[in-house]
Structure 1
Amino acid sequence: MYKTKEDVLQAVNEYDVKFIRTQFTDTFGAIKSWAIPSEDLSDAFSEGIMFDGSSIEGFTRIEESDMMLMPDPSTFRILPWRPKEGSVARLLGDVKLPDGSPFIGDPRYVLKQAIEEAKSEGYTMNVGPELEFFVFKLDENNNPTTNLTDEGGYFDFAPLDRAQDMRRDIDYALEHMGFKLEASHHEVAPSQHEIDFRFGDVLSTADNVVTFKYVVKSIASHRGYYATFMPKPLYGVNGSGMHANQSLMTSDGQNAFYDPEGENQLSQTARYYVGGLLNHIKEFTAVTNPLVNSYKRLVPGYEAPIYITWSDRNRSSLIRIPATRGKGTRVELRCPDPTCNPYLAFALMLKAGLNGIKNEIDPGDPTSRNIFNLTPEERKDMGIGSLPANLKEALDYMSNSEFVKETLGDHLFEHYIAGKIAEWDDYKAQVHPWEVDAYLGKF
């Protein structure tokens, strides 16, 4: 694709790009964007684009608000659903202070720091995420509803999957933008879909997750639908996850998780990496599963993992080792959902795995039994713990975690927790329809 400023400027001229949407994410992963005319792009690469950081969630105070975005030329993509003449492109970038130094509260900077630590240990990280989402109808005023677009199920095709044309448009757009797709299909729940990326380096993949959500929502809107990554928009059906397949590559290009002589052809490095994830997962669940609604998905009975175990095949475990071996040997963390900030989530996964390797944390034996069928007493006897039951519990674990604080940095750590505690306090003060239905007629 594009590597340098000159590559981008040439493409802007060749494809008649008139506007560039510059983008970054706030602390919680929401896309922030504004458009600049193409004639200003050269200066933007050299001098950055100034903006007011005090208006961005979790960034900074008003008295120190001046910030700038430095576009990353490797993220330049033309938006294929926009007009061919006078086309529109997008650029992601790094948030800097006015003197050009990195802003420590920039989620992309946090991931870059974790990447540098891995590099110093002789590793690079690859990630292949599997993102699920729902597509619903709009009402007569074009407001989103939870009205289904289909009654399809897993791998269903037309007529049950009525949104397949929209999903095809998304696939074409993503491929046009340089994505390598592994799979695209209808998921288990009605109106639910999944698109999987081919694994790639962790920074590009995090950028791609941000872009993916933007593309899905944009094309769904153009088609007259509403796409949502809300983890559990419907009661009684499966929620939406973002399973994260991850591996480490050595400096000579070998998969550090593969050992043809190891048990199940897994290296000791892979086992320690799994041990690190299991050891720290409660501490960063508030990042991988960041909403009050995230914990409505993490309940028994809907395939979402809630028990802290690992397995080579068992899909009831939090961590699964898919059957592929060799270059494709990988660890699949199954709890994250697509509302997480991918930069922070991937940074914490990587650092947890590195801690496991560095401290030789043994994950114990893999669990072969279906954990959902075990009684509480059996799980207790087997030493099987659970993920936090709600956002408040997850925030309590995170607040006491030196590991998460070190990974995110003081600024982002404190702002993240403060913002999420405010969200929880607002939620618990509300009177919800279930309470009215359950109690109003009884008391």
Structure 2
Amino acid sequence: MLLSELARDRGIRYFLISFTDLFGIQRAKLVPAQSIDDMAENGAGFAGFAAWLDMTPADPDILAIPDRNSLFQLPWKKDVAWMPADLYGVDGEPVLQTPRLILKQMLKQAETRGYLVKTGVECEYFLLSADNHEISDSCDRAAKPCYDQQALMRRYDVVSEICDGMLSLGWKPYQNDHEDANGQFEMNWAYSDALTTADRHAFFKYMVKSIAETNGFRATFMPKPFGNLTGNGCHTHVSIWDSSSKTNLFRETDEDLELSPLAYQFIGGILKSATALCAFANPTVNSYKRINSPVTLSGATWSPNTISYSGNNRTHMIRIPDFDRFELRLADGAANPYLLPAAIIATGLNGIEEKIDPGDRCDHNSYTDPLPPDKVRQLPANLLDALRSLEKNQVLQTAFGESFIASYLKLKYQQWDEYCNYITNWELDNTLNC
């Protein structure tokens, strides 16, 4: 069926052809239904320099080819449909800086080994007032607001509209809650293959922000918008299945083990490249105010500070909550929905290939009883440290391609330099009288 015919059947008047750039920003063109068939075949044209793609104004246009197999009809605006797109040059060659294509590349590498990667994400966000940097609910003041029933139901209209949207899209959402920070929420839906989850992750952020705006609020996934409160994580659950999608290869039949040897090797690869992985899992200056942060108002940050794994223990970078998957607790709300799983897969597959032993499991409380630095490696202290680690990491250089890593590092170093040139209020308060 042509997309124009589908549009007629579903009452769709416009299509958003959307791609996600290197900084995780969604770019789109709004295409009327009568023109969608041509756009679907030939692509919507964009000037690459206008997005974060490491291009110049002298470069030719790029073409966004939408994926009709991943179409989301906006639950709050039924006459519009959103489709994620892959970027190609006018010569038909793929644009190497496209995050969605990088994820597809990693999934293909897994497929050649007989693996199907499945993921699920837990996206945390704050609801703020529309016109200032304040929590939208003035009554949400509890020191431990996690699961607060009153605070949750005061935002019932927003939360239920988002959940209804996921239900209508067939995502199988199964719970919504008020999170550990005042004004913070989390919504969970069923896991799926990694590309489907990534597309849903990208659309979820757009949907949450849009529905929040229609209700008079502003939603943010910023890693650490408030210094004294828990930050926004993007906990990622990972499992590998056989190519038929019937057998979970991370599940262990031996009751003495949490996961299979394959899973531990995958974890070993992530731990080995963890500092470089942070460049994608924690991609902003602000990200490093969430990890390694001091105690928050609730008494815990719920974010890791060491490169370690554990059982059902939320104080470590990797948690093993069950016998069929692990949870990477490193990533935050700024993580690119496509580059995050791509980097996880790349480092994990390297662990399997090299049969990397993750070492002993850590069962201590890393917040109250931390191990000394000679016993456990620390996460990067800032974005610059993470970028320098990525620059030296051969695993991700090889998996993503040297040209992609070079483009990513170039733009991220520029961002770091811009931050360093900015004079903060802290500097003025503490050094103006020197």
TM exceeding 0.5: yes
User: Who is 1:306 aligned against?
Assistant: 305
| Equivalent-residue separation in structure 2 for 1:50 and 1:223 (angstroms) | 33
How far 1:387 moved relative to its partner?
0.7
Q: Deviation per CA, 1:194-230, whole angstroms, max 9, x where unpaired?
A: 1123110001111111100000000000000000010
Matched, 1:337 2:332: yes
Matched, 1:385 2:380: no
| Equivalent-residue separation in structure 2 for 1:303 and 1:251 (angstroms) | 35
User: Who is 1:255 aligned against?
Assistant: 248
Matched, 1:104 2:99: no
Q: Is the 8 A contact 2:312 2:319 kept in 1?
A: yes
426-435 or 202-211: bigger deviation: 426-435
How far 1:262 moved relative to its partner?
5.7
Matched, 1:288 2:278: no
User: Pick from 237, 241, 247: which aligns with 2:233?
Assistant: 241
How far 1:73 moved relative to its partner?
0.7
AA aligned to 1:432 is: T
| Equivalent-residue separation in structure 1 for 2:230 and 2:114 (angstroms) | 39
Percent identical residues: 33
Matched, 1:371 2:366: yes
User: Who is 1:271 aligned against?
Assistant: 264
Q: 1:115 to 1:151 in 2, by over 3 A?
A: same
User: Who is 1:420 aligned against?
Assistant: 412
Q: Deviation per CA, 1:122-176, whole angstroms, max 9, x where unpaired?
A: 101000100101110123xxxx422442336111122565223211111111222
AA aligned to 1:307 is: T
Matched, 1:221 2:213: yes
User: Who is 1:361 aligned against?
Assistant: 356
| Equivalent-residue separation in structure 2 for 1:288 and 1:229 (angstroms) | 13
SS at match of 1:63: coil
115-124 or 263-272: bigger deviation: 263-272
262-271 or 347-356: bigger deviation: 262-271
| Aligned alpha-carbon RMSD (Å) | 1.7
Q: Is the 8 A contact 1:148 1:190 kept in 2?
A: no
Q: Is the 8 A contact 2:61 2:90 kept in 1?
A: yes
AA aligned to 2:128 is: F
| Equivalent-residue separation in structure 2 for 1:159 and 1:393 (angstroms) | 38
Q: 1:64 to 1:435 in 2, by over 3 A?
A: closer
Q: Deviation per CA, 1:89-109, whole angstroms, max 9, x where unpaired?
A: 111111111132221111111
Q: Is the 8 A contact 1:146 1:234 kept in 2?
A: no
How far 1:281 moved relative to its partner?
1.0
Q: 1:355 to 1:159 in 2, by over 3 A?
A: closer
Structure 1 runs of 4+ off > 4 angstroms?
A: none
Matched, 1:197 2:182: no
Could you tell me which runs of 5 or more consecutive residues in structure 1 were left unpaired when the two chains were aligned: 1-5
Q: Is the 8 A contact 1:245 1:333 kept in 2?
A: yes
User: Who is 2:298 aligned against?
Assistant: none
| Equivalent-residue separation in structure 2 for 1:264 and 1:100 (angstroms) | 48
How far 1:439 moved relative to its partner?
4.0
SS at match of 1:397: helix
Give the TM-score of the pair, scaled to structure 2. Answer: 0.93
